[in-house]
Structure formats: structure tokens, C-alpha cells
Amino acid sequence: MQISVTVNGVVQERDVDPRTLLVHFLREELDLTGTKIGCDTSQCGACTVHLDGKALKSCTLLAAQADGANVTTIEGLAVDGEHHPMQTAFWENHGLQCGYCTPGMIMATTAFVKDNPGASEEAIRHNLEGNICRCTGYHNIVKAVKQVADAAAGGD
């Protein structure tokens, strides 16, 4: 089937097998391999992308469901080569180790902080339930997200 998806600002028109998962469309068809597959069952969040501004897991969406939509992946998050504040915060706070969950973590938490500026540590931890990290013990991820959430609320 024919689909048209705007990915990181570029319109992508493709003929895809109707059963193609969005994550495979991004990785295989568009070569945007920053989006990862970690569990296949929507638990780990490594495949999180923004679909029309909402953080969604691309391993349980069909590419066809993104027809006509606007998708942002980790590759499209930086603007003019400037890291998004969440990318910077993960780097500054040692919020990643092997890096495999990181694109999904960053996509999930940027959407979260946008909707929840000034979120509490408890709210941040609760919201991370859909993203699994095996390396960091979450400690520094929470710290990174808190830094951005505080800044978004106008704090310092």
C-alpha cells in the first residue's frame, strides 16, 4: 500500500507491505536506525518516537497507521546541530551507558516534560515505567529529566 509520512520534516512516500511495523519502516526503509527495538511487546520503550507530537512506541504501530502523520525520531530532535536540552542533560548527568535505550528514553521524556514542566521526581519515575534501562539503575536518567523539567518550569 502507498503511504506518505513526514519524518523529521521530510515527506516520505513509499509503497509498503501493509503489515510493516512503523519501527521497521523507519529503520529498514528510511535507514533511520537511531530508533531501536528492545522487546517487541511495547514494554521497553527503546522504539519510542513522536507521532504528531505524542510519544508512541513504534514497534506496535503499523507504518500504515502513520500515513499522513508527522513523525520525529531521535535523528530529528536536534535543531540546526544544537542538541535538544534533554540530549544535553543525558550527556551532562551520565544518564546513559550502553546507549541502546537512550533514543527511546530521550523521545519519551522530551514529550513528558513538554506536558509536565516542573514535574516532581516521583512523577518522573512513575512516567518512566514504559522505558526500561538495564545499565544506569535510572538514577542519573531521573536526574537528567529533572534538570530539564525544572528548566522548563523556569527554575534553575
Q: Give me the residues that bind other proteins (CB under 8 A), please.
A: 17, 19-20, 27, 31-41, 43-44, 46, 73-75, 77-78, 83, 87, 90-92, 94, 96-103, 106, 121-122, 124-126, 128-129, 131-142
Residue length, the chain? 156
Q: How many Cα atoms within 13 Å fall on the side-chain side of residue 98?
A: 10
Which class for 19: exposed (0-12), middle (13-18), buried (19 or more C-beta within 10 A)?
A: exposed
Nearer to other proteins, 74 or 152 (CB): 74
CB nearer other proteins, residue 129 or residue 156:
129
φ/ψ of 141, rounded to 5, equals -65, -45
Residue 114, judged by CB atoms within 10 A of its CB (0-12, 13-18, 19+), counts as middle
| Minimum distance of other proteins from residue 73's CB (angstroms) | 7
As measured in angstroms, the least distance from the Cβ of 118 to other proteins is 18
**Shortest distance, CB of residue 49 to other proteins, whole angstroms?**
11
